Structure 1
Amino acid sequence: MSALSITRKWRRLDEPGLEVLHLQPDDDGILALATVVHVGTEAFGLSYLWQLDRDWRTRRLELHLASPSIETLQIERSHRGWQVNGRPRPDLAACDEIDLSATPFCNTLAMHRLQGSGELTTLYVDLPSLQLLPSRQRYTTLGKNRWRYTDLGIAKGFEADLEVDDENLVVVYEGLFETLP
């Protein structure tokens, strides 16, 4: 990532919703701060702070959810595996990265990790339920700044083409998200 901060705004295409994401470098990697407002079938508000290392790998994700009660969730990668709210979660040991259902930002982490076509297991965070499950995914490169996402787990069979910028931040996620100017 460049030394400059990046702001990205996405609009949902399947239901009403918006996200504003701010990325900024810090001493240990990258901070992602975002606010999501989803006014679809299950309305919720979400803010998150995602701490990444220099290789775009999750160190810690802190979620603040309003739906209709207020809940917080902290997910952290440690040398012993994933911890959720400070407690070890050995059932999530096979997870390579986090997939937060309400944002296309998580696709960026998978694409940086894979560096090309491949598969990985994600720690899928369903919103607004905050249910955590391992889920297998495939990313296939289709050319410069183009990928195909295929879900092999939670939503098995779902596919979508992604257009990304040079940082692998989603510009268009077929049928789900698009960048706003």
Structure 2
Amino acid sequence: MSARFQTRKWRRLDEPGLEVLHVRLEPDGILACSTVVHAGAEAFGMSYLWRLDRDWRTRRLELRLSGPSAETLRIERCDGSWQVNGRRRPDLAECEEIDLSATPFCNTLALRRLRGTGELTTLYVDLPSLQLSPSRQRYTALGGNRWKYTDLGIAKGFEANLDVDDEGLILAYEGLFETLE
């Protein structure tokens, strides 16, 4: 990151919603903390704390839903696999990174991991249900800071163009998110 601290604000385009993300470089990696308000048909609030290593790979994601259920979820990378709320999940071992459905920030992690056109399997977290499942994705470099996202798993056939800044943070996610100044 060019600065030690960065803030990004996104507005949802498909339903009412807003996210405010703060990303900070730390001595041992990167810390991303965010608040999401989704005011669509299935309204929820959420905050997350995402700890990444220096290569932008997930070490731990702590997520808290607000509202009647007020559920929490902790996902940690552990010995080549994943732990969810302290329990090993061998069914998720093939997952290379996390895809949190309510934020475009997770696309940054996939793009940084691939560093070009490629595919990966993500640990997809559906919100607000918190259901977890592996899901395959493809990212195609379109030149400059533009990418094409293709879902090959959970939402098979879904495609969208992504515009990113020089750090790989999403500026625009076609049909779903746009940056607010």
Q: Note whether the superposition's TM-score is higher than 0.5.
A: yes
What are structure 2's unaligned runs of at least 5 residues? Answer: none
2:152 paired residue number: 152
Are 1:111 and 1:168, in contact at CA under 8 Å, matched by a contact in 2?
yes
- Root-mean-square deviation (CA, aligned residues, Å) is 0.7
Gaps of 5+ in 1: none
- Do residues 66 (structure 1) and 66 (structure 2) align? yes
Q: Deviations over 1:10-38 (max 9, x none)?
A: 00000000000000011211000000000
Letter in 1 for 2:17: G
Change (3 A) 1:177 1:123: same
User: 2:171 aligns to what?
Assistant: 171
Moved more, 120-129 or 73-82: 73-82
Question: How far 1:2 moved relative to its partner?
Answer: 2.8
When residues 160 and 80 of structure 1 are mapped into structure 2, their CA distance, relative to the original with a 3 A threshold, is closer
Cα distance in structure 2, aligned partners of 1:76 and 1:112 = 19
2:68 & 2:145 partners in 1: Cα distance? 38
* 4+ runs deviating over 4 angstroms: none
Q: Map of 1:20-169 to 2, 5 A cutoff?
A: 20-169=20-169
Offset at 1:69? 1.5
Find the aligned partners of 1:136 and 1:120 in 2 and give their Cα distance: 6
Cα offset, 1:147, TM superposition: 0.1
TM-score, scaled relative to structure 2: 0.98
How far apart, in 2, do the equivalents of 1:134 and 1:159 lie?
A: 18
Which amino acid in the other structure matches residue 115 of structure 1? R
Does the CA contact (< 8 Å) of 1:67 and 1:128 recur in 2?
no
- Corresponding position of 1:11: 11
